[in-house]
């Protein structure tokens, strides 16, 4: 094995508190009148100060205590990004309880599994739409004693559901009757106490609950500041789901370290509109958004004609030379620097301003691989995108490229205090305070994933001479879309293969913008009708529609192709009749590329 270890964080970082409530209290006391959270009220931005933030956290924390919860009891949050998400999370943790995060896009059956498995006693839900999805499954959730509805009026039930406003009112009453209990609760929290359960897909499709401690979360957030400096003047747009640990570290936990301002975007389709309004200094995204921005810039550049086209071509040539010098680790010549400054004034500065990135200091891409060519293009026009690597089990980041030191095509070097080792079979192993405590209620899976403090990531990679990590393959049977969503293809394929008329299904989507599928027909069940027969198209479409209804939106199949022939043993199938994914990807590359060349159909 070979390993790269990085220096421990600087002493100054170690002085920050190592539980989330203590960290929050320090920052809130330091910046009481400064703005902390921003949200859209109609067409206008409204702000929440740190004093107001702390007050709301205390009220919600007392509301949790009012429900009779004991330390380490679980409370779930099912909501899009908004101030109440972070207020709820911090209120839960101040009460000594554990936050269970639920993706807004999950199907009701999936949410029911998470709530049942975690034995959540309270659910905080965004609106009536989500509430109505879960209300009919109440009998399957005996542990769930209370639902708090953030937005809208509750149905006429038996008091099981109360509004956010009512919860805060009850919290106020509890605080008057039991003054000081909330403070004693959060002061009793220890760094190694469980802080959050985050469910991540298993290879069978059954979610696993990763246990993240207070130390995991605070240490990782503080450690990222060693890679990317932050300050109270930073503006962050929060749009990736806070249910994902990456966004939680970026927009909630780093904020507790720096005191910066967070702007919430509950609708991902509006993120670039908000970026143009906010002009963030720090922006994290998944590859899919960077791909869309890149495509939009290309359209804009292609629309240039006449003399301006000559200027465009010259500027892009200068940008390419600037990028080449950076990758070669050689300083740009004086002539190249002056040329780029002119190209920037004539072309690139306008592009950055139109995007809303004219004040950006740090751009990060994570959660899935991104094309090095896209990163090279952005660097050339003055936007350095820093790619990193990590898992839920590493509290998001394990490695990152650093500003001014990136190697495009790699995911950077380990965070300070994190070790990365390559096992004999090429698997990436990670050890550090960011590595999770194990899987909740799953000692067997925990034992197979953790060994002597080392996390077996399931990914294959290599370290270069400078300690930069490159991901070369995936050991586990999961893939990520370019939007950063883990998908377990085997589970979906099994669901499809059991449908009438379908012989085999191969689910696609690795680093792609959406999930697609290749289908082969059961010739007997379809009476040897061809792939283009309308009745066959309808049969497959109906089967996929039924399967999609049991999946979260990012997992759903958006396009599919019925192949003319069936898979055969020795070609696409093993002797055990298992599909050879690599062979299918090679043989049907043209069909797969055609699926992704057009807009998705659903």
Of the residues 260, 280, 300, the one at which a domain ends:
280
Per-residue pLDDT tens digits for 66-120: 999 999 999 999 999 999 999 999 999 999 999 999 998 888 988 999 999 999 9
In a domain, 508, yes or no: yes
Domains held by the chain: number: 2
| Residue 71 token pair | 């330390």
Q: Kindly indicate the confidence band of residue 6, based on its pLDDT and cuts at 50, 70 and 90.
A: very low
Size of the chain, expressed as the number of residues it contains: 602
User: pLDDT tens digit string along 166-196?
Assistant: 999 999 999 999 999 999 999 999 999 999 9
Helix and strand element counts for the chain (H, E) = 22, 28
Query: What six digits make up the tokens of 165?
Result: 């406003």
In a domain, residue 454? The reply is: no
Min mean pLDDT across 4-13, 198-207, 544-553, 571-580 is at 4-13
Q: What is the pTM of this model?
A: 0.83
Last residue of a domain, one of 247, 280, 313: 280
Domain boundary among 219, 253, 280: 280
Confirm if 115 and 123 have CB atoms less than 8 A apart: yes
562 belongs to a structural domain: yes
CATH number at residue 68: 3.40.50.12780
Q: What is the pLDDT of residues 563-589, one digit of tens each?
A: 888 888 668 875 445 677 778 888 999
Residue pLDDT, tens place only, 506-537: 898 888 889 999 998 876 666 666 777 888 88
Separation of CA 344 from chain center: 32
Domain range holding 174? 20-189+234-280
d(CA 564, CA 526): 13
Rounded CA gap, 4 and 429, in Å? 11
Specify if 273 maps to a domain.
yes
Looking at the domain assignment, is residue 43 inside a domain?
Answer: yes
Residue 169 covered by a domain: yes
Confidence of residue 481 (pLDDT cuts 50, 70, 90): confident
Residue 441: inside a domain: no
Q: Is 312 inside any structural domain?
A: no
* Residue 10 exposure: Cα atoms within 13 Å on the Cβ side: 7
Output the average pLDDT for the chain: 90
Q: What is the CATH number of the domain that holds 543?
A: 3.30.300.30
């Amino acid at each position: 094995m070979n390993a790269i270890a990085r220096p421990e964080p600087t002493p100054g970082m170690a002085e920050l508190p190592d539980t989330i409530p203590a960290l929050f209290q320090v920052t809130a006391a330091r910046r009481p009148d400064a703005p902390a959270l921003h949200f859209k009220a109609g067409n206008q931005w409204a702000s929440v100060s740190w004093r107001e933030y702390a007050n709301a956290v205390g009220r919600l924390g007392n509301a949790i205590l009012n429900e009779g919860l004991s330390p380490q009891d679980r409370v779930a949050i099912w909501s899009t990004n908004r101030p109440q998400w972070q207020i709820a999370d911090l209120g839960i943790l101040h009460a000594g309880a554990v936050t269970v995060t639920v993706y807004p896009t999950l199907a009701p059956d999936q949410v029911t599994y998470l709530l049942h498995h975690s034995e959540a006693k309270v659910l905080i839900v965004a609106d009536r739409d989500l509430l109505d999805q879960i209300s009919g499954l109440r009998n399957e959730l005996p542990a769930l004693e209370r639902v708090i509805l953030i937005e809208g009026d509750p149905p006429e039930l038996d008091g099981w559901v109360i509004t956010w406003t009512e919860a805060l009112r009850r919290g106020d009453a509890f605080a008057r009757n039991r003054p000081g209990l909330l403070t004693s609760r959060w002061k009793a929290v220890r760094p190694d106490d469980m802080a959050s359960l985050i469910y991540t897909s298993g290879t069978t499709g059954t979610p696993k609950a990763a246990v993240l401690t207070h130390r995991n979360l605070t240490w990782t957030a503080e450690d990222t500041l060693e890679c990317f400096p932050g300050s109270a003047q930073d503006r962050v747009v929060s749009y990736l789901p806070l249910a994902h640990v990456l966004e939680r570290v970026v927009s909630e936990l780093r904020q507790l370290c720096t005191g910066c301002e967070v702007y919430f975007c509950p609708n991902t389709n509006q993120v670039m509109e908000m970026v143009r309004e906010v002009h963030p200094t720090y922006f994290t995204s998944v590859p899919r958004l960077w791909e869309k921005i890149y495509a939009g810039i290309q359209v804009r550049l292609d629309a240039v004609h006449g003399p301006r086209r000559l200027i465009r071509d010259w500027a892009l040539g200068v940008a390419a030379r600037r990028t080449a010098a950076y990758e070669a680790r050689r300083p740009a010549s004086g002539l190249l620097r002056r040329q780029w400054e002119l190209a920037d004034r004539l072309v690139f500065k306008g592009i950055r301003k139109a995007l809303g990135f004219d004040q950006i200091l740090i751009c990060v891409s994570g959660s899935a691989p991104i094309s090095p060519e896209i990163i090279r293009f952005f660097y050339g026009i003055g936007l350095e995108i820093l790619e990193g690597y990590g898992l839920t089990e590493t509290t998001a980041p394990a490695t990152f490229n650093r500003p001014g030191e990136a190697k495009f095509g790699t995911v950077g070097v380990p965070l300070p205090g994190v070790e990365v080792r390559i096992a004999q079979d090429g698997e990436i192993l990670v050890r550090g305070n960011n590595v999770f405590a194990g899987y909740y209620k799953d000692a067997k899976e925990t034992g197979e994933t953790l060994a002597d403090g080392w996390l077996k990531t399931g990914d294959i990679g290599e370290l270069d001479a400078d300690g930069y990590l490159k991901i070369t393959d995936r050991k586990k049977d999961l893939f990520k879309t370019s939007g950063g969503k883990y998908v377990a293809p085997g589970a979906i394929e099994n669901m499809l293969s059991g449908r009438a008329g379908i012989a085999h299904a191969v689910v696609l989507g690795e680093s792609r913008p959406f999930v697609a599928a290749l289908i082969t027909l059961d010739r007997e069940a379809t009476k040897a009708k061809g792939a283009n027969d309308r009745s066959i198209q309808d049969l497959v479409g109906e089967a996929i529609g039924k399967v999609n209804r049991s999946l979260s939106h990012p997992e759903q199949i958006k396009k599919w192709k019925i192949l003319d022939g069936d898979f055969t043993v020795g070609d696409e199938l093993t002797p055990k009749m298992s599909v050879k994914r690599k062979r299918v990807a090679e043989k049907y590359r043209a069909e797969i590329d055609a699926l992704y060349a057009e807009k998705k159909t659903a």
